[in-house]
């Protein structure tokens, strides 16, 4: 009996799993709540709604009201991508002296508000209201209504007692708030208009009644609101056959108002286009007499013949169908037949010419791609990869077509950033992995060999704190580099931007500094060919979801031959971070990166930008600013107050000293990068030792220091990479 029960349970689980994999709901799903029909992709219980998006989960409460999101009552669901819900009104009430006595306003988290189907309205005299949205960009719009007495007649919502405007908000808005106010020094309207109101409502659902609505609109607590919905965040082209459309008499179309796509039945079919079973898109029999919605247009009903996806009018032998009147007429031959034959012949010739032109265009594009491939060093790269013993299995050469598809034709919405080394796009590869695609900038053909060397060397760097180079595309006029995608912005954004949460703590800043230092030390000392980054700055340090530092943008980097300690190059870098000695001499060496790193550490310590023209004349540059503070014994004034506490001041002072050593004017006086990494790692080891000492005083704490260090190194979210472990002993090994 137990075995039979186990088999039954396993069978049920398999069937449920099969339904979820097929993207279809269970057979026993609840299909209505009250008077509202619930159809897939929306659903009420597990396995009944589109599993990839919880926004399709609805709730049927004890009053048989269908609820969406934050308790919004659903009144209608449209297959075409519209959801109608009931939306509360916001209001503010005042006494006879103009003081606010009661107010209600709401912040909603919803899918995209339909821009075409809704209006923003304010009701009240001498009042104004605004609609604020929150998304990638915050946005506000509003309306003003003015009147000193009740309007004499209901003339619509034209600005006297009522103001209405179209909804014009960014499509990425995830939250919105409506709120109303009275204009200042306005008390004369209290008797007939004690409150002001603001709300979003579906077009045509609110009709202004001057006397009733100005006196008390609160008797009406909510209005219908139209929301747009779609499946996923990809276009139909991107999702391909992986979507839930296009498998059963239905098709996919891109949403016009938001990311994602919707489904619709093909012409001649009706039903739920998101289902593939008998409830999905089924053929319409246009010839039935009781079909009043999808009627045929044959003049004689007896000639109508149904076919899958449509109908046709069948004439008896010797008659033809007149498509103008949809009636059968006797056939006539002659000039019409000749004209038809001539037209068909002409169209055939056009088709052949068009085909030949397309083939010639394709051949021209192919030759151009081959030209660019060779011009950008493709042959050289293939030759290097084919050499015996070359360990470049991870280098992938992408096609131009693949890059164009993954960036949606290099759409501007895919741009992640632009700088001196090129433009970076967000790309989605066929396996749905997200990458960063950079259009590199080459000066001339003489740099091709060095570019290929950089691709080969960087592709072999296996360091957890270096953004991984996945491959390149050489079929375009400007080469494309493909990197792993880091999703939490740059260190510059976290220090100076407003899009992220709480400020970085001291422990996080020190860890990030240690990770950057260890990475640069690895590039200088332990890479197969020493690499000088040449553009170290906070904007080129990416942070992942764990705030782990990732050194990026090697477009300006240079490979240092083993027999040379420095190179003479055209000066390149970012003002403020640029080594002054390199700037004046043009001689590039690893100490140039040391200087830039010192500036980054100062930025981490102070939270201030490298160049600030609001500071005194001699302190506009951050290095001079800190040097002046040290000289005048006022270091507390320049260190970011968010990171200072009574336990870490000595660590901060030591970090300042390290930064000052790195930014000495003469490169010979600066320490090596591995020495800098060792000093900063020493600060973390000392901190860990003090923490163990506080927890285990006396001799026992001394025995636990080693354990504490091992624990610190084993935590991948704090230290966690081998090169840093070895920095403390002044030896930098491979990254992972």
Q: Are residue 556 and residue 697 in the same domain, yes or no?
A: yes
Is residue 370 situated within a structural domain? no
Higher pLDDT, 613 or 52: 613
As a whole number of angstroms, the distance between CA 609 and CA 146 comes to 47
Give the chain's domain count.
6
Q: Is the pLDDT of residue 70 over 80?
A: no
Q: Are residue 221 and residue 246 in the same domain, yes or no?
A: no
Q: Are residue 74 and residue 186 in the same domain, yes or no?
A: no
**pLDDT average, residue stretch 145-157:** 81
DSSP state of 416: E
As a whole number of angstroms, the distance between CA 348 and CA 346 comes to 5
For residue 551, the domain's CATH number is: 1.10.510.10
As a whole number of angstroms, the distance between CA 93 and CA 214 comes to 11
Task: Tell me what percent of the residues of the chain surpass a pLDDT of 70.
Answer: 80
Is residue 573 situated within a structural domain? yes
Is residue 339 situated within a structural domain? no
Q: Rounded to an integer, what is the distance from CA 673 to the centroid of its chain?
A: 36
Q: Is the pLDDT of residue 77 over 50?
A: yes
**pLDDT average, residue stretch 152-157:** 77
Q: Are residue 317 and residue 262 in the same domain, yes or no?
A: no
Place of tokens 């149904």: 306
The set of catalytic residues is 535
Q: Are residue 218 and residue 239 in the same domain, yes or no?
A: no
As a whole number of angstroms, the distance between CA 193 and CA 207 comes to 17
Between the CA atoms of 357, 359, 363 and 366, what dihedral angle is there, to the nearest 10 degrees? 110
Q: Is the pLDDT of residue 291 over 60?
A: yes
Question: With 0-12 CB in 10 A as exposed, 13-18 as middle and 19+ as buried, what is 520?
Answer: buried
pLDDT at 639: 92
Cα distances from 251 to residues 261, 432, 623, in angstroms, run: 10, 22, 61
Q: Is the pLDDT of residue 145 over 60?
A: yes
Is residue 350 situated within a structural domain? no
Q: Are residue 456 and residue 509 in the same domain, yes or no?
A: no
Residue among 132, 61, 101, 60 at smallest CA distance from 218: 101
Is residue 5 situated within a structural domain? no
For residue 325, the domain's CATH number is: 2.10.25.10
Q: Are residue 562 and residue 468 in the same domain, yes or no?
A: no
Q: Are residue 477 and residue 504 in the same domain, yes or no?
A: no
As a whole number of angstroms, the distance between CA 682 and CA 661 comes to 16
Q: Are residue 436 and residue 579 in the same domain, yes or no?
A: no
**Bridge partners for 224 per DSSP:** 86
Is residue 20 situated within a structural domain? no
Q: Are residue 567 and residue 473 in the same domain, yes or no?
A: no
Q: Is the pLDDT of residue 658 over 60?
A: yes
**Helix residue spans in 467-505 (DSSP H):** 491-496
Show which of 466, 484, 502 is a domain's final residue.
484
Decide: pTM greater than 0.75.
no
Q: Are residue 279 and residue 179 in the same domain, yes or no?
A: no
Question: With 0-12 CB in 10 A as exposed, 13-18 as middle and 19+ as buried, what is 438?
Answer: buried
The domain of 54 spans 25-78
For CA atoms 60, 61, 66, 71, the dihedral sign is negative
Q: Is the pLDDT of residue 727 over 50?
A: no
Is residue 733 situated within a structural domain? no
Encode pLDDT of 386-430 as tens digits.
766 555 556 788 888 899 999 999 898 998 877 666 788 999 999
Show which of 438, 456, 484 is a domain's final residue.
484
As a whole number of angstroms, the distance between CA 124 and CA 163 comes to 9
Q: Are residue 453 and residue 584 in the same domain, yes or no?
A: no
Show which of 185, 204, 228 is a domain's final residue.
228
Encode pLDDT of 443-459 as tens digits.
555 566 666 766 776 77
Is residue 670 situated within a structural domain? yes
């Amino acid at each position: 009996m137990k075995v039979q029960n186990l088999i039954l349970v396993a069978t049920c689980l398999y069937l449920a799993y099969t339904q979820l994999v097929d993207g279809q709901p269970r057979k026993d799903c609840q299909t209505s709540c009250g008077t509202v029909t619930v159809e897939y992709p929306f659903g009420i219980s597990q396995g009944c709604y589109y599993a990839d998006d919880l926004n399709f989960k609805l709730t049927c409460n004890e009053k048989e009201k269908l609820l969406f999101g934050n308790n919004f009552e659903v009144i209608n669901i449209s297959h075409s991508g519209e959801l109608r819900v009931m939306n509360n009104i916001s209001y503010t009430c005042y006494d006879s002296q103009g003081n606010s006595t009661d107010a209600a306003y709401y912040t909603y988290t919803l899918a995209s508000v339909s821009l075409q189907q809704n209006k923003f309205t304010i009701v009240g005299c001498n009042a104004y209201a605004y609609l604020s949205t929150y998304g990638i960009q915050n946005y506000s719009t509003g309306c003003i209504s003015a009147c000193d007495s009740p309007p004499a007649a209901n003339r619509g919502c034209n600005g006297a007692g009522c103001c209405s405007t179209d909804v014009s908000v960014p499509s990425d808005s995830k939250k919105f708030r409506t709120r109303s106010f009275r204009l200042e020094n306005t008390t004369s309207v209290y008797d007939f208009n004690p409150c002001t109101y603001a709300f979003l409502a579906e077009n045509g659902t609110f009709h202004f009644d001057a006397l009733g609505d100005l006196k008390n609109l609160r008797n009406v607590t909510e209005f219908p609101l139209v929301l747009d919905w779609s499946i996923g965040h990809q276009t139909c082209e991107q999702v391909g056959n992986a979507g839930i459309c296009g498998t059963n008499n239905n098709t996919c179309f891109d949403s016009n108002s938001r990311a994602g796509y919707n489904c619709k039945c093909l012409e001649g079919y009706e039903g739920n286009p998101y289902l593939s079973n008998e409830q999905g898109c089924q053929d319409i029999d246009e010839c039935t007499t009781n079909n009043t919605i999808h009627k045929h247009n044959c003049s004689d009903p007896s000639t109508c013949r149904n076919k899958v996806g449509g109908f046709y009018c069948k004439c008896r032998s010797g008659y033809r169908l007149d498509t103008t009147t949809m009636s059968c007429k006797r056939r006539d031959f002659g000039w019409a037949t000749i004209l038809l034959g001539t037209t068909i012949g002409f169209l055939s010739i056009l088709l052949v010419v068009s085909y030949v032109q397309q083939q010639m265009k394709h051949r021209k594009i192919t030759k151009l791609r081959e030209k660019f491939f060779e011009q950008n060093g493709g042959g050289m790269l293939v030759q290097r990869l084919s050499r015996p013993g070359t360990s470049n299995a991870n280098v992938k050469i992408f096609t131009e077509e693949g890059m164009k598809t993954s960036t949606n034709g290099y759409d501007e919405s895919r741009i992640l950033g632009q700088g001196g080394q090129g433009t970076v796009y967000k790309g989605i590869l066929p396996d749905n992995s997200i990458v960063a695609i950079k259009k590199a900038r080459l000066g001339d053909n003489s740099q091709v060999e060095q570019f290929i060397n950089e691709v080969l060397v960087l592709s072999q760097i296996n360091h957890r704190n270096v953004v991984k180079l996945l491959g390149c595309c050489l079929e375009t006029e400007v080469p494309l580099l493909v990197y792993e995608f880091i999703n939490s912005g740059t260190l510059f954004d976290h220090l100076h931007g407003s899009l992220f949460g709480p400020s970085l703590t001291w422990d996080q800043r020190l860890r990030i500094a240690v990770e950057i230092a260890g990475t640069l030390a690895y590039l200088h000392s332990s890479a197969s060919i020493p690499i000088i980054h040449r553009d170290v700055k906070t904007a080129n340090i990416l942070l992942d979801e764990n705030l782990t530092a990732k050194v990026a943008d090697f477009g300006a980097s240079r490979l240092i031959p083993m027999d040379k300690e420095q190179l003479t190059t055209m000066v390149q870098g970012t003002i403020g971070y640029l080594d002054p000695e390199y700037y004046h001499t043009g001689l590039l060496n690893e100490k140039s990166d040391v200087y830039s790193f010192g500036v980054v550490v100062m930025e981490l310590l102070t939270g201030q930008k490298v160049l600030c023209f609001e500071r005194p004349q001699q302190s506009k540059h951050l290095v001079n600013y800190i040097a002046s503070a040290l000289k005048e014994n006022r270091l507390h004034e320049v260190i970011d107050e968010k990171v200072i506490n009574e336990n870490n001041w000595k660590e901060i002072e030591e970090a300042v000293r390290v930064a000052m050593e790195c930014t000495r004017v003469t490169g010979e006086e600066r320490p090596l990068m591995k020495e800098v990494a060792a000093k900063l790692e020493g600060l973390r080891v000392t901190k860990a030792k003090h923490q163990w000492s506080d927890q285990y005083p006396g001799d026992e704490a001394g025995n636990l220091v080693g354990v504490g260090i091992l624990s610190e190194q084993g935590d991948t979210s704090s230290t966690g990479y081998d090169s840093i472990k070895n920095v403390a002993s002044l030896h930098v090994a491979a990254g992972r």
